Structure 1
Amino acid sequence: MPFPSPSDKQDDGPALYIVSTPIGNLEDITLRALRILKEVSLIAAEDTRHTRKLLSAYEITTRMTALHEHNEEERASRVIDKVLAGESVALVTDAGTPCISDPGYRLVSAASRQGVRVVPVPGASALLAGLAAAGLPTDAFHYQGFLPKKQGKRRDILSALASLSHTFVLYEAPSRIERLLGELADVLGDRPAVLARELTKRHEEFLRGTLSSIAGELASRSSVKGECTLMVGGATESAAPVVVDLDEEIRRALADSDESPSRLAKSLAKRLGLPKGEVYDAVVRLSGDR
């Protein structure tokens, strides 16, 4: 199929453009993205100060407004009203593709419900950049993004990831990456993994090995810098079964939940694949201890 010429572009008429921006290297932006950012009447940016650096580098003077996770619902209606009135608006985040572990979902959802044309302008993504260079299987993969901070919810998700047979991807801040590697090794066993750090930037780095070997390398350093993208290999048939410390799982759940013993036992039994009666007896016992 031949590539369309610029005259064949579908970027005519009012629309909400979801524009991907560089994740580090300012050259990683498409010609189409630059044109769209120049042509729209407004750019909705996660952080206008951050986006201004990109716009200044390419001499783009389009007006901006802030749209982030704390004001997205309130600002969404204003953006949609502009498009319905015949203008075009571009949505950008600080880095990468909007809506992928970044603000934008609520705006896109509301715009779609009101018949606004939503047009993706693809480009940089830490998820795809990391996967492409990891060397782990990518015929199928699971994207999890950032894990929740509450311990109980984190363990629930990690336990679900343990059964996946394909590569999965997590994002994590540098200050918490060692902790995450330890949690993964504890729940999943010592899997093959690749940690991508500072993607597309001057100090880009790929650490390859196992969860424990990567954790050991990071522990030997005085500090870890740069946002982290972690790719973890899927479970194999020969992988050793994960031994579950039921009492420890229950203690974590009790600390994070105010559910009744019966409901708590039901959810834990389903997640851990254990008989509900066994789990219920342990919940009652540990609840009394508490």
Structure 2
Amino acid sequence: MGASCASAVERDRASVAGEQARPRPAGGMLSLVGTPIGNLSDASPRVLDTLRSADVLLCEDTRVTGKLLARFGIRVPLERCDENVIARRVESVIARVAAGQRVAFVSDAGMPGVSDPGQRLVDAARDEGLPVEVIPGPSAVTCALVASGLPMEHFFFEGFLPRKAGERARRLAELAPVPGALVLYESPRRVADTLDSIAEAYPARCVALVRELTKLHEECVRDVSGELARLIRERGELRGECVIVVEGPGQDELASLSRQASAALASPEEAVREGLCAGVPKSALAKQVARTFGLGRSEAYDLVVSLSRE
């Protein structure tokens, strides 16, 4: 190794060491902390350091978070701040951060704000110009995507589907054209019903059920939607929170959906009016209408502009 290269390496090492040794800045901070989704050993050193240094730790369930703290010998005041009370707590939490306190927020598992409380606190802190940091941790969304083995160049996180069958079916129909994998959360009590609805909505797609992520009995079961629904129904009640990954639509399915959408709209004018009501930008709407009805792009754009003036 040349002298100049060696010198550069030494400088880099010194810089990294300085970053690691640098004390945390004084003053208030809102920390959104990702916690293990099953295996407590997944808690990173930075996660543990942030929890230890907090003046107060807000959590969904003090019993759940208490087990995490006990596992690592951390003692810090715990306060409940779940989805039922967080709206009432925002003002007082922001006041604490503004007064210089270090407030940490965790969900029961995974990243706060991802289908869990937390977003309101971040939004309010940003509005007040207060510092916010995110301490990375495990996420069931990305873990399930990787475990499924399904194509995931693009994906859409839906979270929990509606509980009622009719509403669930309507939402799945709305999600059908999404050009990527769908990631859904579901409880073990409702997962069989949800898989039945998915099989009805997407009979040709492959679906993976990922359960007990990071735990001893982690499982990924994958098959064509109808076969998977039948298998899970026959197994009876499951345990552990479930993540469902649905394969994205193929070209044939997308073409079929496009034809159905065209048939549902009787004319280009109707399509434009619907798009304008939905707030679709004029240029994007013109491209969509031109493609759907075989119009020239300039003709479609003139139609969009004309009808937008009505």
TM-score range, shorter chain: 0.7 to 0.9
For residues 179 and 205 of structure 1, do their structure 2 counterparts lie closer, same or farther at Cα, with a shift above 3 Å needed?
same
The answer (yes or no) to whether the contact 1:159–1:271 under 8 Å persists in 2 is: no
Task: Please state which structure has a larger fraction of its residues in helix.
Answer: 2
The code of the aligned residue for 1:28 comes to: D
| Per-residue deviation, 1:157 | 2.1
The answer (yes or no) to whether the contact 1:160–1:271 under 8 Å persists in 2 is: no
The answer on 1:154 being equivalent to 2:168 is: yes
The answer on 1:200 being equivalent to 2:214 is: yes
The answer (yes or no) to whether the contact 1:170–1:229 under 8 Å persists in 2 is: yes
For residues 195 and 179 of structure 1, do their structure 2 counterparts lie closer, same or farther at Cα, with a shift above 3 Å needed?
same
Pick from 251, 273, 298 the counterpart of residue 237 of structure 1: 251
Q: CA RMSD in A?
A: 2.4
The answer (yes or no) to whether the contact 1:38–1:60 under 8 Å persists in 2 is: yes
| Per-residue deviation, 1:241 | 7.3
Corresponding residue SS for 1:229: strand
For residues 69 and 83 of structure 1, do their structure 2 counterparts lie closer, same or farther at Cα, with a shift above 3 Å needed?
same
The answer (yes or no) to whether the contact 1:18–1:119 under 8 Å persists in 2 is: yes
The answer (yes or no) to whether the contact 2:154–2:179 under 8 Å persists in 1 is: no
For residues 240 and 165 of structure 1, do their structure 2 counterparts lie closer, same or farther at Cα, with a shift above 3 Å needed?
closer
Residue by residue over 1:187-217, the C-alpha shift from the partner in whole angstroms, topping out at 9 and shown as x without a partner, is 2223111110011112110001111121122
Residue by residue over 1:233-271, the C-alpha shift from the partner in whole angstroms, topping out at 9 and shown as x without a partner, is 11111339779xxxxxxxxxxxxxxxxxxxxxxxxxx98
The answer (yes or no) to whether the contact 2:168–2:197 under 8 Å persists in 1 is: no
For residues 11 and 235 of structure 1, do their structure 2 counterparts lie closer, same or farther at Cα, with a shift above 3 Å needed?
farther
- The residue aligned with 1:274 is 264
The code of the aligned residue for 2:236 comes to: S
The answer on 1:111 being equivalent to 2:125 is: yes
Following the alignment from structure 2 to structure 1, what is the Cα–Cα distance between the partners of residues 152 and 20?
A: 32
Pick from 43, 60, 63 the counterpart of residue 29 of structure 1: 43
Following the alignment from structure 2 to structure 1, what is the Cα–Cα distance between the partners of residues 261 and 254?
A: 18
Structure 2 residue runs of 5 or longer lacking an equivalent are 1-11, 268-310
| Per-residue deviation, 1:99 | 0.5
The code of the aligned residue for 1:204 comes to: E
Pick from 146, 155, 175 the counterpart of residue 141 of structure 1: 155
Following the alignment from structure 1 to structure 2, what is the Cα–Cα distance between the partners of residues 273 and 145?
A: 31
- The residue aligned with 1:249 is none
TM norm structure 1: 0.80
- Which has the higher mean CA deviation after the structures are superposed, 73-82 or 56-65? 73-82
The answer on 1:40 being equivalent to 2:68 is: no
Pick from 130, 133, 136 the counterpart of residue 122 of structure 1: 136
Query: Structure 1 segments of 4 or more deviating over 6 A?
Result: 240-243
For residues 123 and 276 of structure 1, do their structure 2 counterparts lie closer, same or farther at Cα, with a shift above 3 Å needed?
same
Corresponding residue SS for 1:239: helix
- Which has the higher mean CA deviation after the structures are superposed, 183-192 or 116-125? 183-192
Structure 1 residue runs of 5 or longer lacking an equivalent are 244-269, 278-290
For residues 114 and 151 of structure 1, do their structure 2 counterparts lie closer, same or farther at Cα, with a shift above 3 Å needed?
farther
The answer (yes or no) to whether the contact 2:110–2:139 under 8 Å persists in 1 is: yes
Following the alignment from structure 2 to structure 1, what is the Cα–Cα distance between the partners of residues 218 and 60?
A: 24
Following the alignment from structure 1 to structure 2, what is the Cα–Cα distance between the partners of residues 172 and 120?
A: 25
For residues 143 and 40 of structure 1, do their structure 2 counterparts lie closer, same or farther at Cα, with a shift above 3 Å needed?
same
**Identity %, equivalent residues:** 37
For residues 132 and 274 of structure 1, do their structure 2 counterparts lie closer, same or farther at Cα, with a shift above 3 Å needed?
same
For residues 34 and 183 of structure 1, do their structure 2 counterparts lie closer, same or farther at Cα, with a shift above 3 Å needed?
same
